[in-house]
Chain A
Amino acid sequence: MAEEEKAPTGQPEEGAPLKISRRDFLVGAGAGVVVTGAAAVGYVALQQPKIVEVIKEVPVEVIKEVPGEVVTVGPTLPAHLRAVTLNINGQDYSLMVEPRWTINYLLREKLGLTGTKTGCSRQMCGMCTVLANGRPIYSCTTLAVDYEGQEILTVEGLAQNGKLHPVQQAFIDYNAFQCAWCTPGFIMSAVALVNKNTKPSPEDIKHALSGNLCRCGTYREVFLAVQAAAKMMA
């Protein structure tokens, strides 16, 4: 498992020293400092996670031989894989996954469903938003194995028979995107909202979308689109 130093919270003021005295380290380092990836001290931003090997005892299956009896050997799962069944966009996927795979990783890297995007890998931006049993989740920090049997809905699963979902159509009608990297995330959050509330107040809309970042600054158009989509679906 990767260990990461906690980043300082809030916006630190320039001038306030961090807890570990790197200055002493650097000043006292002398003429040369050998730094390997594992020993690189304290630059949290670019530090590679430490690799800690966990060696477990692998259970050994003892096969008792009884003369004349048929012995069944296996099947056994590879130690590092788990079986999971997810219903993704209406289709059942029974898969072997590593327990550490996030839903985002599974979708993008294993199933070719790249409509769901990545932004930060730490629940900060919502670009990875998908719906799990109708609830919006950050797929970047949810493990596939934890969602056994759930219905996952991604942006690719919205249009039916070539017809766009009202939210998708509204986004086009109101020009609610620019570069559109954040757009699938917004659309999924919006779908979750209008599915449970077809008469959202402006505060409801802002709250439902508060977990989605847009760097291009399309919030105004997104708001108008979601308002219109809700009316369409009411």
Chain B
Amino acid sequence: MAKMTAQERKELLRKYGDGSGGFVGGRGSFTPRRTGAKTAAPAVTAVERSTAKSTDELRLVGKPLPVVDGVAKVTGAAKYANDITLPGQLYAKTLRSPFPHANIVRIDTSKAKALPGVAAVLTADDMPPTTFLRPLDYGPVLNKDRVRLVGDAVAVVAAVDEDTAKAALQLIEVEYEPLPFVLDEEEAANPDAPQLYEEGNIVIGSGPQGEPARISRGDVEQGFAEADRVYEQKYTTSHQVNSSPAMRCAVCQWLGDELTMWINAQGTTTPRNEVAWRLGIPASKVHLISQYASGGYGSGNHASGTNNWKIAAAILAKVTGKPVKMEFTREEELILGMGRHPHTSYLKVGVKNDGTLSAIDAKSYVNTGAHGDYRVLTDTMGSYYTSSFKTPNARFEGIVVTTNRPSAREMRGFASPQAHFALGTMMDEIAHDLGMDPVDFLSLNALEGGGPWSTVFGPLEVSNSGMKECLAQGAAAFGWRELRQKYPVEENGKVRGIGVAVSTQGMVQNRSSAVVEINPDGTVMVREGAGNMGNAAHTTLAQVVGEVLGYINLADMRVVFGDSDKTPHDNMSYGSRTALCTGLAFQRAAEDARRQLLEMAAFRLEAKSEELDILDKRIFVKDNPDKGLTFSELLGSILLSGSDFAEMTVVGRGNSDLLISSKQSVGMAAHFIEVEVDKITGDVRVVRAVCATDTGRALNRMVVEGQIVGSFIQGLGYAFGENMTVDRPTGIPVTFSWLDYKLVTMPDMPEVTPLIIESHDPQGAFGVKGLGETSLSTPASAIGNAIFNAIGLRIRELPFTPEKIIAGLKGPG
């Protein structure tokens, strides 16, 4: 073993030492000076090293460890925003439009204000100007001149209790002038349709002159000319809504000019920044707490909903000088908690007789409702249509339209479920027409690593692909080949069929920061700003940190989360980005702390950093393991009095910025589904499903399986009972309770096998690429394909209903 040279020791002393012989006695935290070459992205090496390791060689990563907040959750100790009650708290309620489209002529709040127990009644003029960014967004906090959907907010009340608040709403007089309204996306794109905004119904696109989102790769016309067969179909998807389990709720309290807000959010610092911006106050004056959040599935990203209601809660608290709690009813949560854009797509695909795709062309109309914008969704949709399969030629055009429907914005999957219903159904239609096994057809045209991921802003490269493995392993686990010989099978009026579909999910890639603090006793504070709405980021990130730092026990780590005052910046847990982006930041932060520890230990152990390793809070010489120091020994220092006093905390920091990466990490899935169709009732029962999902690396097998099955269940809901339905003559949403908006229940559950495929994506820590959304986009078309296999009926419009099955079985005429 080589001893450290005098030069190297001097270098260390110069860098860290105080000359007093025990450099660890330095006061304050141990911050390395950046010296350029020394800090040149060591994480790249770490990623390459970690990507290659089989999970069996890892200590914490991959293990099915219980989540760190489990006890709080199963004992009822976990406090969500809905559980918070502050002394002197007022209760807020919102007066909402009964019309889908109307001018507001007059509002009179005088009687409401006079009701005893009412602390404030506010209208649009009382709201700060920065709350309404652009014509759409979440809609104005309160509408002044016009309402554009049933439920659009007109006034808010804060009162001593809920009954008084509701009574006050009754006393507000509003004069409306009802206007004609429009509900369909294609109808609304017509210039003759009722217009919601001065700018028209078509939302300004991402083209340079505001033209619709367009993506083009290769030459589709040439591709169609070369095709042996060309297929054209129209596909329509339904209106799934986020339907958070807990109703939207915020508790706002001002102390002087500083605001504290408890809310169900999918992040901390980003919603904090957004609140500050909209209120027109410094971000440093806002404290956002969301330690336990109910599932948002996208709607908790900015903790928003229609009208960005939380701003009204904050203003009520400011005006009244009291804490204000605003909680939605279940009806409000379903209609106004945002959702998934319904869409209509015209899809044209060219294929050669050997089964290879020669061109894909898609034109989409996306229905964003009265608010929500969301050209980002359409831009993203274009990537899915053009890049989910291997083809040299692809084109997309997408138009976002406003209608007087409940608003859509962000919901898990985000354009992928819509696109993959169309694509997954079309691919099955083609395979059937060619007489090919769909698994072979999908494998032949599978997206590959290095393939193009076309976006409206230019081409990216797919980081890697596990699609073929998903198909092969999924087919084997399902028994696909054998069943293909037998199915469909009919018995007693019920027919069983099988279907397969694949999907892709481009991970959102942007910035994350991470802080890891190693206390003198070896315990670790992991400070992470990701959301905690069931995604278990706190646990998987701790596993990454622990893996890098040689820990064997997750209990040594305490994860600090859910408080914007306590955590570094993260960009919210959305777009399946946390494991990828935040995981990478934490790998780097842990590597940073590791490097500091090894350098300190190297000095004390008279060895080089490269010769050392860490295990269970002890640093030792690899070739001579008996020679080592525990963290306590290393980080403690001896005061002049001679007593042991550990006062060193090592702080490791890391950032990741995959926004600037030229590679796109893409989650992939292949679902194999068996259905049973009742030809008399039209009922479709999903009997069995194998969900093969490429997650790059499973950071925690139990968490990953839960995410695969959970997203699959939401995909089931998308296929069947989840459809926000609006009464056509009146524009009134009629699915406003869980009686009519049907979630999947326990008795509906099929036998589901989550199959984890680990393709080791080179971008993420330990090869992870994230997976929160991936398996949501696959079930709908896989089920449709199974229905086709069972009864020969091709349904190109979601949701699948008994009425459609029976009408289809009867045939036209």
Contact = CB atoms under 8 A, between A and B. Distances in A.
Contacts of A33: 175-178
A179 B75 contact: no
A60 B694 CA distance: 76
Interface stretch (A40-48, A69-77, A78-86): A40-48
A10 B739 CA distance: 8
Nearest to B336: A46
Given A155-B76, A179-B534, A125 B746 contact: no
Interface string A29-71: 1011111111011111111111100000000000000000000
Interface stretch (B517-525, B593-601, B721-729): B721-729
B736 A171 contact: no
Contact of A159 (B75, B105, B293): B75
A18 B727 contact: yes
Nearest to A122: B737
Contact of A37 (B80, B95, B725, B740): B95
B749 A220 contact: yes
B323 to A, nearest CB: 15
A155 B246 CA distance: 17
A138 B481 CA distance: 47
B150 A43 contact: yes
Interface residues of A, number: 88
A203 to B, nearest CB: 9
A10 B723 CA distance: 12
Interface stretch (B2-10, B502-510, B706-714): B706-714
Contacts of B732: 22, 42-45
B75 A178 contact: no
A50 B169 CA distance: 11
Interface string A181-218: 11110010000000000000000001101101111111
Interface stretch (B65-73, B212-220, B451-459, B623-631): B65-73
Interface stretch (B21-29, B124-132, B327-335, B492-500): B327-335
A26 B746 contact: no
Contacts of A113: 76
B567 interface: no
B344 to A, nearest CB: 15
B76 A116 contact: yes
A164 B74 CA distance: 9
A31 B747 CA distance: 51
B535 A178 contact: yes
A8 B734 contact: yes
A179 B98 contact: no
Nearest to B330: A120
Contact of A220 (B73, B151, B709): B709
B137 to A, nearest CB: 21
A146 B331 CA distance: 27
Given A29-B178, A46-B151, A154 B76 contact: yes
B534 A120 contact: no
A206 B744 CA distance: 13
A127 B732 CA distance: 27
A23 B730 contact: yes
A36 B730 contact: no
B391 to A, nearest CB: 33
Contact of A215 (B79, B170, B733, B743): B743
Given A42-B732, A125-B738, A179-B294, A114 B727 contact: no
A114 B73 CA distance: 12
Nearest to A14: B728
Given A209-B746, A219-B746, A180 B79 contact: no
Nearest to B748: A219
Contacts of A109: 85
What is the interface of chain B mostly: helix, strand, loop, or mixed?
Answer: loop
A91 interface: no
Contacts of B329: 121
A207 B736 CA distance: 26
B706 A179 contact: no
B66 A173 contact: yes
B171 A36 contact: yes
Contact of B76 (A46, A156, A178): A156
Interface string B268-305: 00000000000000000000000011110100000000
A34 B177 CA distance: 9
A178 B246 contact: no
Contacts of B710: 178, 216-218
A181 B709 contact: no
B566 interface: no
A180 B330 contact: no
Nearest to B75: A159
Nearest to A12: B734
In the complex, which of the residues A9, A42, A120 has the most CB atoms of chain B within 10 Å of its own CB atom?
Answer: A120
A14 to B, nearest CB: 5
Given A12-B725, A171-B74, A177-B534, A108 B170 contact: no
B294 A181 contact: yes
Nearest to B534: A178
Given A38-B170, A177-B534, A210-B746, A26 B752 contact: no
A218 B745 CA distance: 10
Contact of B703 (A10, A116, A125, A175): A175
B46 interface: no
Interface string A85-123: 000000000000000000000001100111111111110
Enumerate the 8 nearest inter-chain pairs by beta-carbon distance, A residue then B residue, closest first: A115-B76, A178-B534, A217-B713, A37-B170, A179-B534, A217-B710, A114-B83, A180-B73
Interface of A: 7-15, 17-18, 22-23, 26, 29, 31-38, 40-51, 108-109, 112-122, 124-125, 127, 154-156, 158-159, 164, 168, 171-175, 177-184, 187, 206-207, 209-210, 212-223
21 contacts: A12-B725, A23-B729, A26-B99, A37-B95, A42-B730, A43-B150, A46-B332, A46-B335, A48-B166, A49-B166, A50-B170, A119-B245, A178-B710, A179-B246, A179-B292, A182-B245, A183-B74, A215-B295, A217-B710, A219-B745, A222-B746
Given A12-B727, A181-B245, A215-B714, 17 more contacts: A7-B739, A18-B730, A119-B738, A121-B329, A127-B245, A172-B67, A172-B71, A173-B66, A177-B74, A178-B535, A179-B292, A181-B246, A207-B747, A219-B745, A220-B749, A220-B752, A221-B706
